[in-house]
């Protein structure tokens, strides 16, 4: 059964959601991230996806203190990303209580460094964040499409131990218009042994049911929860 992974995106210590990664299309939800994490645990969820948007913008993690509080006050498996550029920062994320560090742009720009981290920290501690447009890796804060296919991108890291990744179709993210089901079906077929997590566009339980049927391991759900498009009660069946 697919696992629901609620998302908490943080700017200035608050829960927010962006539309298609655009900081100018930001909506602040007046909720404390630590309280939200506790609520998700209380509702029966076991994982949490935390995105430090301030860190992503500045190039260094900014909200590790919040991660420490989340880890101290819940038993959630936390994956955390945003601005991680060095091995020391990966270690600081793990030391703060996150189970996994999400690595995105660095894996695109410095793949050899990313491969070394897989080996240094272990593949269970590193979650690759891959953004795509039209099955090609998206770069430069999602504005551009590279010439690298998502399939070649993932394949390149397998010899170094990669065994898990999440993939965001940036044309869908934050729009509440449904998921890129064909993309995830193709990824599942291409990488049958990999842990694959879908991200972006979830708008209804039908999206989640379709991903589950496609054999996807997990799905990150953010805006649909905040906008009450999907209730936590409905999601609990997959928690």
State the CB neighbour count (10 A cutoff) for residue 149. Answer: 14
Q: Look up 131 and say whether it is catalytic.
A: yes
* CA atoms of 140 and 20, how far apart (whole Å): 13
* CA atoms of 63 and 146, how far apart (whole Å): 30
Please give the radius of gyration of the chain, using alpha carbons only, rounded to the nearest integer: 16
Question: b vs e for 73-92, b when ≥16 Cβ sit within 10 Å of the residue's Cβ?
Answer: ebebbbbbbbbbbeeebbeb
From 9, 52, 169, 217, active-site residue: 9
Q: Look up 169 and say whether it is catalytic.
A: no
* CA atoms of 207 and 99, how far apart (whole Å): 27
From 79, 131, 173, 217, active-site residue: 131
β-pair type (77-81, 136-139): unpaired
* CA atoms of 194 and 154, how far apart (whole Å): 10
* CA atoms of 226 and 14, how far apart (whole Å): 13
What DSSP line would sit under 107-145, residue for residue?
A: HHH-HHHHHHHHHHH-GGGEEEEEEEETTEEEETTTTEE
Active site residues: 9, 131
């Amino acid at each position: 059964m697919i696992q629901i992974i609620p998302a908490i995106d943080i700017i200035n210590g608050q829960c927010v959601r962006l539309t298609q990664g655009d900081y100018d299309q930001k909506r602040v939800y007046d909720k404390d991230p630590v309280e939200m994490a506790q609520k998700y645990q209380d509702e029966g969820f076991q994982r949490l996806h935390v995105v430090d948007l301030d860190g992503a913008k500045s190039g260094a993690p900014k909200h590790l203190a919040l991660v420490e509080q989340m880890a101290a006050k819940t038993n959630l498996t936390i994956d955390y990303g945003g601005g991680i550029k060095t091995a020391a920062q990966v270690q600081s994320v793990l030391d703060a209580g996150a189970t996994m560090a999400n690595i995105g742009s660095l894996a695109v720009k410095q793949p050899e460094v990313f491969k070394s981290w897989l080996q240094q920290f272990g593949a269970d501690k590193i979650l690759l964040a891959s953004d795509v447009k039209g099955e090609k890796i998206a770069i430069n804060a999602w504005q551009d499409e590279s010439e690298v296919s998502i399939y070649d991108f993932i394949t390149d890291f397998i010899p170094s131990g990669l065994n898990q990744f999440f993939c965001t179709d940036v044309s869908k993210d934050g729009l509440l218009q449904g998921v890129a089901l064909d993309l995830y079906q193709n990824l599942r077929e291409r990488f049958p042994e990999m842990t694959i997590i879908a991200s972006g566009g979830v708008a209804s339980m039908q999206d989640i049911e379709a991903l589950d049927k496609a054999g996807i391991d997990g799905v990150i759900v953010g805006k649909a929860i905040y906008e009450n498009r999907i209730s936590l009660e409905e999601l609990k069946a997959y928690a």
